[in-house]
Amino acid sequence: MVKNNQIKRGVSLYSYQEEFFLRKMTLEDCIAASAKMGALGIESIAEQMMPGFPNLSDAFYAQWQDWMAQYGTTPTCHDMFLDIKKFKGRLMTDTEMLESVVRDIKHASRLGCTVIRVIVNTPPEIMAKAAPYAEQYNVRLGLEIHAPFNFEHEWIQRHLEMYARVGSPYLGIIPDMGIFEKRFPRVRSNRYVRKGAHPHIVQYISEVFSRHEGFNNLLEDVKKMGANELDLAMANDIQHMTYVNPRRLLEYMPIIFHVHAKFYEMLDDYTEYSISYEEVIPVLIEGGYSGYLSSEYEGNRHIQDAFEVDSVEQVRRQQVMLSRLLGEA
Amino acid sequence: MFDIYMICEQGFRNVVENGEITGFQLKVRLPYYRGIGISMVEDLAVTVDANRFPRQALRITLHGNTYTLDEMEQEYEDRWEFGEEGIVTVQKPGGLTPGLHKIELEAVLRISYLPFLLTGGDHKVIELAG
């Protein structure tokens, strides 16, 4: 297969949260590990790995640029949050929300990022007000489409309607590949069993999920099977998971700024257990997507109670898979 | 997310002030996947051997700054960083007896995109140095 697309590979440093939390890897280690596997686009979460944010020093930004040069990496996306509930007893005002978003736009610009992952609780009217700043700093704002939200959700529709009204090329979306959950992640179901769920009920719920025919009677069904609290928790979990037909992406291609290549478990054969990358990547190629696929490993939290987490190896395997699906040599 | 790492194994000790034991300390981390502004820590609860200490008995020290939980609610600049070990000092004249104790810890965080309060918890049996 010859590479017939302009899609680029990168990593969200979110992937290495286990090792960073436990102080086994530094920010520089995370960048170096990504570069080593040829994933040259670096997505970062300031509030996770840049202590002191939003008051980062000039020296920090200089250091960041030095790392990018040294490792041959490119800053891609900054993941922002909007702490609407920062003040106990009241929500942020519109002015405070806009200030917070502009703060993040400036930070992303200083890192050299060209995209911001806008957290889903950001109101459409705040994004509209932030669009001129996004243009001024040349940082595009991509609202994350992340389960349990999907394209049809009323909240997402409100954003898409606002985009159409405002017409700014700086407003778009970042789909998280977790919306294409074909099978219930095995690392999650195994954890339920370890915590005391019934293996046959876990199996049943996993099968119901895989059929994607709705879960209307699921809670009643598992109760009849003698479900305990953990079985019910898992049955509740799947109500928040989605399997969207990947071809839906084709409707949104011009406003897809960045892609979160979420995954939970890369197998020895370099496939992902639950998310159907074999279906999704060809659609992105067909649609002419030319941005980054940013690895986002989220399996650590499901295995850390019983196994040693190796985020770097998991990301490496996903990068091998992405490279294959993109037709790289 | 990081609940199992909330209680640190190291740093569990009695606090001695002017020759008297006034309480005990342990090191704790938040369970959430990013650092947060301190005002969004709604509560932190420490239970030792089934005795839950009152909220007022706790002091939290983060990179040298010490707060009561009520003060934390009003702190809008300082942050509890991701994976940062905070020192919880519990006021308890006489402290705890040396040896093993069952520690239970609960953290309640106000995360803006979640429609509920995020609660995380951990429990461990750890040894207080003699």
The predicted model scores a pTM of 0.96
Q: Give which of B83, B26, B123 is closest to A22, Cα–Cα.
A: B83
Q: Would you say B95 and B25 are in contact if contact means Cβ atoms under 8 Å apart? A: no
What are the pLDDT digits (tens) for A157-193?
A: 999 999 999 999 999 999 999 999 999 999 999 999 9
B116 interface with A at CB cutoff 8 Å? no
Tokens of B33: 């996947």
Inter-chain CB proximity B112 and A86 less than 8 Å: yes
pLDDT of residue A148: 85
CA distance B27 to B7: 6
Q: Would you say A303 and A215 are in contact if contact means Cβ atoms under 8 Å apart? A: no
The single-letter DSSP state of residue A216 is: T
The parent domain of residue B15 ranges over 3-128
Which amino acid is residue B4, in one-letter code? I
| Percent of chain A surpassing pLDDT 90 | 93
> pLDDT-derived band of residue A1, with 50, 70 and 90 as boundaries?
low
Return the SS3 of A8. strand
pLDDT of residue A153: 92
Structural domain spans, chain A: 8-181+242-325, 189-236
CA distance B61 to B84: 11
CATH of A8-181+242-325, one of 3.20.20.70, 3.40.50.2300, 3.20.20.150, 1.10.10.10: 3.20.20.150
What are the pLDDT digits (tens) for A94-145?
A: 999 999 999 999 999 999 999 999 999 999 999 999 999 999 999 999 999 9
Element (H, E) at A142: strand A140-145
pLDDT of residue A3: 84
What are the pLDDT digits (tens) for A31-69?
A: 999 999 999 999 999 999 999 999 999 999 999 999 999
B117 interface with A at CB cutoff 8 Å? no
Q: Would you say B103 and B90 are in contact if contact means Cβ atoms under 8 Å apart? A: no
Residue A262 has pLDDT above 70, yes or no: yes
Residue A214 has pLDDT above 90, yes or no: no
Inter-chain CB proximity B76 and A23 less than 8 Å: no
Q: Which of A82, A304, A305 sits opposite B112 (nearest CB)?
A: A82
Q: Which residues pair with A292 in a beta bridge?
A: A8
What are the pLDDT digits (tens) for A14-26?
A: 999 999 999 999 9
Which A-chain residues 279-318 have CB contacts (< 8 A) with chain B?
301, 304-305
Domain count, chain B: 1
> pLDDT-derived band of residue A147, with 50, 70 and 90 as boundaries?
confident
CA distance B65 to chain A (A): 14
ipTM comes to 0.96
Q: In what order do the strands lie in the sheet with B58-62?
A: B13-17, B20-28, B86-91, B58-62, B65-68
Chain A residue numbers with beta carbons less than 8 Å from the beta carbon of B82 are 17, 20-21, 47-49, 51
Angle between helices A186-195 and A199-211 (to 10 degrees): 150
CA distance B130 to B19: 15
Residue B104 has pLDDT above 80, yes or no: yes
Side-chain half-sphere exposure of A106, counting CA atoms within 13 A: 11
Is it true that the peptide bond before A175 is cis, omega within 30 degrees of 0? no
pLDDT of residue A231: 96
Q: Output the average pLDDT for chain A.
A: 96
Chain A residue numbers with beta carbons less than 8 Å from the beta carbon of B40 are 83, 85-86
Q: Which residues pair with A294 in a beta bridge?
A: A10, A260
Which A-chain residues 182-241 have CB contacts (< 8 A) with chain B?
none
pLDDT of residue A291: 98
- Measured CA to CA in angstroms, residue A285 lies from A117, A292, A327 at distances of 22, 12, 10
Q: Which of A23, A120, A305 sits opposite B113 (nearest CB)?
A: A120
| Percent of chain B surpassing pLDDT 70 | 100
Q: Which residue in this structure is represented by tokens 């700024």? A: A257
| Percent of chain A surpassing pLDDT 70 | 99
